[in-house]
Structure 1
């Protein structure tokens, strides 16, 4: 009976589903936090001045404020940790294309280039589907990539998937007992 270790995915390019999941999480976090901040500021303004700062919620001002908040959220997360909170939840990190740590300047440029991928009807995101490295247009422009990274804990494929891949390659796989070592 041979024991084949689980296949590791840390450092591999992130796929379509994980990138989409992190994007959805980031959009939800940005919208909820923006709404909470705007409501808090409005409540404070009404307590002090008796008038609402929000007033009419149409026009360019609320959209501009949301865009600025989304920019700050993304740029700050990428600059400090190489990931936004949504990417962190999914286990993704943005790195330079050569695998090195993302610099603050590159994080800022990547954040500025992100709308370029979305503007032409989202066509800039097609690279995630068709490229081997799953890089969108903004990744190509800024020479970055998104990879799996769970920090100190090594990301591994689930046992059944590792077993399937081992069988496909012609190797025998036996699940190993749970590890007692600290990670």
Structure 2
């Protein structure tokens, strides 16, 4: 029989900067990929049905506005419906109200609208997440939101070795329990 330190649960704890950045990078890839695929599909459809291209030059301001509208809809609708974007869902994150309550559609709209403010002045609004105790960026502070770990029906836990390391470092005393093959 060996002594096993129980795994620390992180569900509901504030998400770290690395997790948030990974979710954001996934979202950027999904937005750009889906916009490009949608545009290519629509272009193929217009060429097939009416014999003409949608547009030969796709670098104009109209396409930039279309991409911005697509990104806005992607983020807002994802947050309003599920409380997370697909990128955040892959990483195991959820956006909640600052008090931990479920995000409302109105608060999701506010968060989405003020998000660009975090990128102003060389991204200092995002840098707040590095120094702020709850890892909340400027758009989170303005909208009254927070990003937390949440894997849905499965509890998010730290890996066993990391839990043991943190327990030793904190000097915490855990009740010993026999190890089982189910762990």
- Please give the range of the TM-score, normalised by the shorter of the 2 chains: over 0.9
Contact 1:5–1:176 at 8 Å: present in 2 too?
no
- Give the number of equivalent residue pairs: 180
Supply the RMSD in Å over aligned alpha carbons. 1.6
**Stretches of 4+ moved more than 4 A in 1?**
172-175
Query: 1:127-155 deviations in whole A, cap 9, x for unaligned?
Result: 11001100000000000000000011000
Q: Is there any run of 5+ residues in structure 1 with no aligned partner, and where?
A: none
Structure 2 counterpart of 1:50: 51
Question: Where does 1:153-164 land on structure 2 (aligned, <5 Å)?
Answer: 153-164=154-165
- Tell me which residue corresponds to 2:19: 18
- Once residues 175 and 113 of structure 1 are traced to their aligned partners in structure 2, the CA distance between those partners, rounded to angstroms, is 50
2:60 is equivalent to residue 59 of structure 1: yes
Moved more, 48-57 or 36-45: 48-57
174 and 129 in structure 1: CA distance in 2 versus 1, 3 angstrom threshold? farther
Aligned counterparts of 1:22 and 1:174: Cα–Cα separation in 2: 36
Question: Are 1:179 and 2:182 matched, yes or no?
Answer: yes
The 3 A distance-change label for structure 1 pair 175 and 61 is farther
TM-score if structure 1 supplies the norm length? 0.93
In structure 1, the partner of 2:110 is: 109
Q: CA deviation at 1:5?
A: 1.1
CA deviation map 1:160-179 (0-9, x unaligned) = 00010111122367784353
Answer yes or no: is the 8 Å Cα contact 2:118–2:137 preserved in 1: yes
Matches within 5 A, 1:5-154: 5-154=6-155
- Structure 2: unaligned runs, 5 residues or longer: none
**8 Å CA contact 2:3, 2:179 repeated in 1:** no
Query: With structure 2 as the length reference, what TM-score do the two structures score?
Result: 0.93
